[in-house]
Amino acid sequence: MALKATIFKAELQIADLDRNYYQTHSLTLARHPSETDERMMVRLLAFALYADDDLVFAKGLSSEEEPDLWRMDLTGVIKLWIEVGLPEERRIRRACGRAERVIVVTYGGRVADMWWQQNQLALQRQENLTVLNLTAADSRVLAALVTRGMQIQCTLQEGELWIIVAGESIRIAPETRFAQEVKSARE
């Protein structure tokens, strides 16, 4: 008998001062049986960072053909492809060929550092790629916030996130390891 995904609900209030984006999203997150709370919360953080009315959670771990999150236009063109964790370099290259913009959000401390050292040269050739990293402490703090019904307020300004859950405020500042300018013809 196959294990089923665990369902989590999140009401995410976003105030993104950098993009002038203010919205509340009622989200349903399906945590794959092999996924940790930490990874699921990094996916939720990635949603908050790039929130848009058209951004959706994709199959991620359940499919090699889909990322963790993506945004497509009405014609099916993939505008944004977001991967969480430490994906294979080949998978990222393929994503860069399919999507206008690709974001990778790594976490895990030393393991993420080693992944970056191994893949840095190959990934820096991709013109539409951004790689962000969360410290091990930040991703652990996120994992500690997990409940089946979450109410989260996020304020984003100058690359920093302030997350408020149950009156507790947490600051998270993802490090940009690599960011290539997206050419204007692709925007």
Check which CATH number belongs to the domain holding 73 and give it.
3.10.640.10
Q: What percent of the chain has pLDDT over 70?
A: 93
Structural domain contains residue 28: no
Structural domain contains residue 162: no
Structural domain contains residue 173: no
| 6, two tokens | 């665990």
66-to-6, 50, 74, 91, 145 alpha-carbon distances in Å: 20, 17, 17, 10, 27
DSSP letter assigned to residue 140 = H
pLDDT in tens, 91-121: 999 999 999 999 999 999 999 999 999 999 9
pLDDT of residue 186: 32
pTM: 0.92
pLDDT of residue 60: 67
Q: How many residues does the chain have?
A: 187
Tokens 């962000």 belong to 132
Give the total number of structural domains in the chain.
1
Structural domain contains residue 20: no
Structural domain contains residue 73: yes
Tokens 């995904």 belong to 5
Structural domain contains residue 187: no
- β 99-106/78-84 pair status: parallel
Q: In which domain, by residue range, is 120 found? A: 1-10+35-147
Structural domain contains residue 27: no
**Average pLDDT score over the chain:** 92
Structural domain contains residue 177: no
Chain centre to alpha carbon of residue 82: 6
Q: Specify the amino acid at residue 33.
A: P
